[in-house]
Amino acid sequence: MRRILIASVVVVVPLLLSAQVLRTCSQIEASAEYHHARSQAKTEKEAKMNAQTFLVQQLSSLVTSRTDMTINADNNSSEQQFYNLSKTISNLRLDGLQFMTCKDEDVKKKKNQGENDEVYAICYISKEDLNRSAGEVSKTVKQYLELYEQKKNLGLDGLSELYIAYLNTFFTPLTISHKFGSDSISNIRPYLETRLRNHLSELQMVCTKVEEHPQYPDEQLRLTLMVKGESSVGMVYFLDCPAINASAEISEITTQFNVLVQPSAPEESFSGTLTLGTIGLSEPLKSIADAVPISRQIEFTADMTSIISIDFAMDDKGDFWQMTPKFRHLSVNSFEWSSNSKRLSTEQMPKILKEDVGSDITLKLNRNESLAISKRTKASTSMQKRYEPQSVSSTAKNEQLVDLSAKEPKPSPSEDDVYGFANLKDFGTVQVKLAELKKDGKVIFGKKDKFLRPERCWVLLIEPSTKQLKHVLTSETPTRKDLVSGEIYEDFENQLKGFIAIWLELY
């Protein structure tokens, strides 16, 4: 019996001791075992909310300095959200968060004196619980890092796993360490951020095509953009160009980007922000991603020659010509009319004396040699019609386009792989090759519906999931030959399905 009593004492006493620790607000505040914050308000609920706000603020100051916040949680939920003015966020996991209404002596005293009729409350979490929560977060982060390593070992990039691991680190104010192979990282968050920023810095944006917007041909242009570099499966790239009121989400190889802009030169530069993201993020991670974006400034150029058109009309007014410029998709800031290298006028619609006009007349816009058009002329009324546009229409297609290269597509030799497409392995190498050829004016590429004679196009077929180049089909004569397998296809669009097709017109 005595032995049982002793055993009971041994078990019960520690329980009583631990219960005593939580008895009053003052005791909690005096203890070094807790993180705590006290607040007051008209109601108990409000006081607890305020206390929680202060505690989260205090804990989050371990993450970053902040100036303002709002609390979303209304009870002792394990997750609280708050934002500061610079939109940094902490979405902390605080398992074990507790509240207490304070009935300490000093509170009673104030109340008795009528000084204060507000309720006092304390919000607190033990350091042990905070560490436990941090441990849970760390476990999740490490699982994603291990998944990254497993995928990397299989030759998969696993970048989205790194990104999700990075976002998860924001669930705890404490640092998380990790061992990558033989490298020990004491604080994984800045390490991951650097990796992700490096990835982003290596990407480039390439515009492969410019066309009129199908619904708003007069106001908007549609750019086809392509991410160049080691883009990663599962990642999404957000492009935002506020200056031209345009944004796009790039999760596939290419994206279409509608811009409100009229170019002023054959090559137009754009700048914007490219931000990293990934698909299928849960709501708390999404809010963290929005608050701590991994972004960079990015610039790209677009070749506008395919949509710019320039022309002019000459009306015979007896002794002089009434000149009328006609242009489309061009922001014009200067006009220059000349004849046989002699400048005649810089007005928009000048009257030019016939006696001043030589064998040709030239209109140059924006002081740019590439934006010039010349017409042979004889200062006679009978020849007037010959120099006017054949049909002036509101659509660019019927106007005389400024064709800078003035090259006509040549039928490509049916099986002559002069550019070595069959040797290319994946989308990355295709991108590089096409960019090189485009720069040299040897290729135009895009979707089938953009070619007048698609049967003359070569077609590259890329497997979407692996991004491997699977088929290189020659032009239709009337069958297409696959230079990879040697197979002949009579109707490849029905025979080879599920591929991304890049149509090429070779020069």
Partner 1 sequence: MVRIVLVLVAVFIISVQAEAQFKSTISFSNNDGSSKQQSLELNISELLTEFNAAFAEQRELRWDRVSSTPEARERINSIWKNGRFRCFDTDLTESLLKLPGDAFQVRNIPLVIMTSEGTITEEGVINITPSGTIDDLYFGIEQNKYKDLMRQGTTLQDFRRRQIILDFLENFRTAYNRKDLDMLRSTFSDNALIIVGRVIQEKTDGPNYLSSLGKEKVELVRYNKQQYMSNLQNVFSRNKFIDVSFDDIEIVKHGMREDIYGLNLRQLWRSSTYGDEGYLFLMIDFEDETHPLVHVRAWQPEKDTQLDDIIELGDFDVIK
Which residues bind to partner 1, rule: CB under 8 A?
143-144, 146-147, 150-156, 181-182, 233-234, 280, 465-466, 468
- What's the CA gap between 346 and 363, in Å, rounded? 10
Quote the least distance from Cβ 236 to partner 1, whole Å. Answer: 15
- What's the CA gap between 119 and 64, in Å, rounded? 31
Contact 295, 273 (CB under 8 A): yes
- What's the CA gap between 426 and 251, in Å, rounded? 17
- What's the CA gap between 79 and 95, in Å, rounded? 8
- Structure tokens belonging to residue 246: 């345009």
Query: For residue 504, which of 464, 466, 465, 469 has the smallest C-alpha distance?
Result: 469
Torsion on CA atoms 188, 193, 195, 197, rounded to nearest 10: -170
How many residues in total does the chain contain?
507
Quote the least distance from Cβ 170 to partner 1, whole Å. Answer: 19
Whichever of 41 and 147 has its CB closer to partner 1, that residue is 147
Quote the least distance from Cβ 475 to partner 1, whole Å. Answer: 29
Quote the least distance from Cβ 164 to partner 1, whole Å. Answer: 9
Classify 476 as helix, strand or coil: coil
Query: For residue 501, which of 431, 420, 439, 446 has the smallest C-alpha distance?
Result: 446
- What's the CA gap between 205 and 224, in Å, rounded? 10
Quote the least distance from Cβ 434 to partner 1, whole Å. Answer: 23
Helix axes 159-168, 188-201, angle to 10 degrees: 140
Whichever of 114 and 498 has its CB closer to partner 1, that residue is 498
Whichever of 42 and 179 has its CB closer to partner 1, that residue is 179
| Residue spans of alpha helices (H) in 177-217 | 188-201
Quote the least distance from Cβ 143 to partner 1, whole Å. Answer: 4
Whichever of 234 and 350 has its CB closer to partner 1, that residue is 234
C-alpha Rg value of the chain to the nearest Å: 35
Whichever of 143 and 251 has its CB closer to partner 1, that residue is 143
Quote the least distance from Cβ 474 to partner 1, whole Å. Answer: 25
Contact 343, 302 (CB under 8 A): no
Quote the least distance from Cβ 429 to partner 1, whole Å. Answer: 17
Whichever of 149 and 249 has its CB closer to partner 1, that residue is 149
Whichever of 150 and 340 has its CB closer to partner 1, that residue is 150
Whichever of 401 and 430 has its CB closer to partner 1, that residue is 430
Whichever of 60 and 231 has its CB closer to partner 1, that residue is 231
Quote the least distance from Cβ 465 to partner 1, whole Å. Answer: 5
Quote the least distance from Cβ 6 to partner 1, whole Å. Answer: 45
Residue 364 CA from chain centroid, whole number: 37
- Structure tokens belonging to residue 467: 């991004």
- What's the CA gap between 471 and 485, in Å, rounded? 7
- What's the CA gap between 123 and 144, in Å, rounded? 32
Contact 161, 147 (CB under 8 A): yes
Measure the CA angle with vertex 153, ends 151 and 156; round to 5°: 45
Whichever of 158 and 272 has its CB closer to partner 1, that residue is 158
**Residue 73 burial (C-beta neighbours within 10 Å; 0-12, 13-18, 19+):** middle
Quote the least distance from Cβ 468 to partner 1, whole Å. Answer: 7
The DSSP call for residue 249 is: E
For residue 249, give every residue at least 6 positions away whose Cβ sits within 8 Å of its Cβ, in sequence order, or none.
236, 237, 238, 239, 255, 277
Whichever of 190 and 280 has its CB closer to partner 1, that residue is 280
In this structure, what are the phi and psi dihedrals at residue 424, rounded to the nearest 5 degrees? Answer: -80, 145
Element (H, E) at 79: strand 79-83
Whichever of 151 and 222 has its CB closer to partner 1, that residue is 151
Quote the least distance from Cβ 235 to partner 1, whole Å. Answer: 13
- What's the CA gap between 272 and 229, in Å, rounded? 18
The long-range contacts involving 182-188, CB below 8 angstroms and separated by at least 24 positions, are: 188/141, 188/145
Whichever of 19 and 154 has its CB closer to partner 1, that residue is 154
Q: Which residue has the tokens 């041994």?
A: 10
Quote the least distance from Cβ 466 to partner 1, whole Å. Answer: 6
